[in-house]
Structure 1
Amino acid sequence: MALVELPDIKFVEDDVNKVFGELVTVFQGMTGRVLNRADPEMMVLRAFALMFVQQRVLINQVAKGELLRYAKGVILDYLGDPETPRLQAEPALTTERFTLSIPLVNPQIIPAGTRVAPEGAEGSILFATKNAVTIPAGVTQIDVLAECTVPGVIGNGFLPGQVNTLIDPLPFVASVTNLTTTAGGADTEDDDSYRERIRMAPESFSTAGPEQGYIYWAKTASAAIVDVAAVSEVPSEVTVIPLLEGGVIPPQEILDAVAQKVNARNVRPLTDRVTVQAPEAVPYNIELTYYINREIAAESTVIQDAVGKAVASYALWQKSKLGRHINQSELISRIMNAGALRVNVVSPVYTPITDLQVAQDVTINATFGGLADD
């Protein structure tokens, strides 16, 4: 939601010169004396003015902190309580496949909480099955949802096949492996994301299926969700598309969690058919050459490092929002601000992106072309 441009608010005057002037006026009015600059009372009044200004700065900070736009930390928690609580840290999720060595005559139970570790993690990171499942007689495989035992982003990013070390031995289980990349782990919701959800909360009160309402409820599914689009191209049919922090495409486990939220009976109108799907990734490459002014050659190493960070920040910016067009002008701007003299961009080129899509960088090649004159 776009914020209305408003001037910075000030509840009490905290300019030291104005406060000092007010004290001098009050003192002269009460004593009937006109003070000169060298009078001792002027030094005393200036000291009082400094003390009053410090108090007024604190008053402004506290008063502004009670407004949604400026609130932080626990004050923001109170503003969101109780309808919109802050999302707490959540564990990463994946689907684990348990495989038996042979088909069994009797069913084999995989207990809830069975732990599996990523290869080489040495027990520092563990995933545990969320529910107990049973492998039927004569069947050798079963899939079960597992979550990281430590909430947060620490469990994200393990590729299929990497979470494959069974910590709790089970009879006849020959192997275990994750079928999906671990994702969905998130730290406690930060102030900016939480503030935005509080601002959107009134949209959730409607049962008519407004766009912002679906976005609000989808974001409550996980603190890892950084952006959501709700699109209705056909009457009574709504498609909800979530995107995870860092531009990660949400796995099926997150899509299922979002679907459960937006299809709740108190959220979805009876006439709506709501589906949840992952965004379509639009791949692009970053291929460019940049030059540094010869006059600041001594700073070239620092500038090269800054340019590398600028390119990485652009790639993150580009994939952190649905429907954000691929824009090489933004890339050039960031590199120039990092200290480059000029930039020759081969790719990307400007590419429109829809709300159902997200740009995803494939390769990044930023080459230092050397020193150049203005």
Structure 2
Amino acid sequence: MMADLSGLPDIDFISVDAEKITNDIISVYEGLADRTLYPGDPIRLFLTALAQLIIQQRVLINETGKQNLLRYANGDNLDHLGAGSNVTRLESAASRSTQQFVLSTVLTTTVVIPAGTRVGPQAGGTVFFETIDTLEISPGSLSGMVEIICTTPGESGNGYLPGQINVLIDPIPYIQNVSNVTTSSGGTDRESDDAYRERIHIAPESFSTAGPEGAYEYFAMSASPLIVDVSVRETSPGVVEIRPLLKDGGLPGQEILDLVLETCSDRKVRPLTDNVQAFVPEQVPYDLNVTYWIGKSNSSMVATIQSNVEQAIKNYKLWQCSKQGRDIDPSELTTRVKNAGAKRVMVTAPIYQSVERYQVAKLNTENITYGGLEDD
């Protein structure tokens, strides 16, 4: 993986120090006019107003310059930077699942479920799925399975558990019931700037045809905008194991794993000697047991601090599960809670635990206790 863009120093192409710019303008005028401009002087007020316009122009110049840099670019500007590396932004994708169709009885003829047959989670609902391919249930068989895709791109079709997509919208003779056998997943909105920026950053890794780790990371992340982190390792000679992680620490379903495998197994991507496999990241469970106290000097702000602490803990949990190989670190939790306003923090769980690159932390139990006020 290439260097983290966030580690680069902040830069400005031109100074935007308001006080210095204003003083320079006034000093130049005083030198040319050979007179002193005191506060309240109409000319000084005019030059101060003029300085504000110049300052705003300098801010715009800075922002325009930064839009040419990968770390700062966003929106259409980022798309143009991506075009230079032949990396296009991923558009919205529809959720997918595997649907089972069950006959009312075994027949002696083939039952055909045409491609485009719609099913849904409820009658009269607004979310529909349709079969991608034509399904044929052979004579003597009672059921068959086919992949389905949501008719509306985006996240609206995600998260339907097995058995919840159970309404046949387009009636077909002899079909008794339908149900999804996998949790629907893979639906996502248009790729975010941050995810797109990361793919542009690692795109040079894909230029190699020797199958480096970075190339597999790039192509795996290109399979779906939902994927925010990828681990790649060689488990044995010629066997490449890829484990994608979704945004907010989500684990990929079979549909996402299939997309990753399909993308990374393409003849233009995979060296002929590699056997590519896709798996869910291994989970490392941890418990959260925290007690915190607030200083008496902040007694009037207890409610606010408690709210800040709750948010800090929520952010910690998201931080902990949003990247593979991120060690379970209680010191990070302590720092965040203290920065939220707590006077003292006692963390009895988790304890520090190393996490391998192909693993991700998973919260098991949670117990947060407010210990009360303490003397400062």
Give the TM-score, by structure 1 length.
Answer: 0.91
Name whichever of 191-200 and 336-345 sits farther off. Answer: 336-345
RMSD: 2.3
The aligned residue for residue 264 of structure 1 is 266
Equivalent residues in 2 for 1:121-200, closer than 5 Å? 122-200=124-202
State whether residues 129 and 147 of structure 1, in contact with CA within 8 Å, keep that contact through their aligned partners in structure 2: yes
Name the aligned partner's letter for residue 221 of structure 1.
A
State whether residues 35 and 42 of structure 1, in contact with CA within 8 Å, keep that contact through their aligned partners in structure 2: no
Equivalent residues in 2 for 1:1-374, closer than 5 Å? 1-3=2-4, 5-23=7-25, 33-38=33-38, 41-81=43-83, 83-119=86-122, 122-374=124-376
Deviations 1:84-120 (A, max 9, x none): 111111122211111111111111112222222225x
SS in 1 for 2:166: strand
Deviations 1:316-370 (A, max 9, x none): 2211111112222222222223333333333222222112211111332323333
Q: Measure the CA separation in 2 of the matches of 1:22 and 1:342.
A: 49
State whether residues 240 and 277 of structure 1, in contact with CA within 8 Å, keep that contact through their aligned partners in structure 2: yes
Name the aligned partner's letter for residue 34 of structure 1.
D
SS in 1 for 2:112: strand
Q: Measure the CA separation in 1 of the matches of 2:21 and 2:303.
A: 49
Query: Structure 1 pair 354/299, CA: closer, same or farther in 2 (3 Å)?
Result: same
Give the TM-score, by structure 2 length.
Answer: 0.90
Q: Measure the CA separation in 2 of the matches of 1:328 and 1:346.
A: 9
State whether residues 30 and 37 of structure 2, in contact with CA within 8 Å, keep that contact through their aligned partners in structure 1: no
Q: Percent identity?
A: 47
SS in 1 for 2:328: coil
Q: Measure the CA separation in 1 of the matches of 2:294 and 2:82.
A: 49
Q: Measure the CA separation in 2 of the matches of 1:178 and 1:234.
A: 35
State whether residues 238 and 273 of structure 2, in contact with CA within 8 Å, keep that contact through their aligned partners in structure 1: yes
SS in 1 for 2:204: helix
Q: Measure the CA separation in 2 of the matches of 1:16 and 1:296.
A: 36
State whether residues 326 and 361 of structure 2, in contact with CA within 8 Å, keep that contact through their aligned partners in structure 1: yes
Name whichever of 283-292 and 88-97 sits farther off. Answer: 283-292
Name the aligned partner's letter for residue 162 of structure 1.
Q
Q: Measure the CA separation in 2 of the matches of 1:91 and 1:12.
A: 45
Name whichever of 181-190 and 203-212 sits farther off. Answer: 181-190
Query: Structure 1 pair 333/7, CA: closer, same or farther in 2 (3 Å)?
Result: closer
The alignment covers a number of residue pairs equal to 371
Name the aligned partner's letter for residue 234 of structure 2.
S
SS in 1 for 2:240: strand
Name the aligned partner's letter for residue 194 of structure 2.
D
How far the C-alpha of 1:6 sits from its partner, in A, is 4.2
How far the C-alpha of 1:373 sits from its partner, in A, is 3.7
Name whichever of 196-205 and 307-316 sits farther off. Answer: 307-316
SS in 2 for 1:11: coil
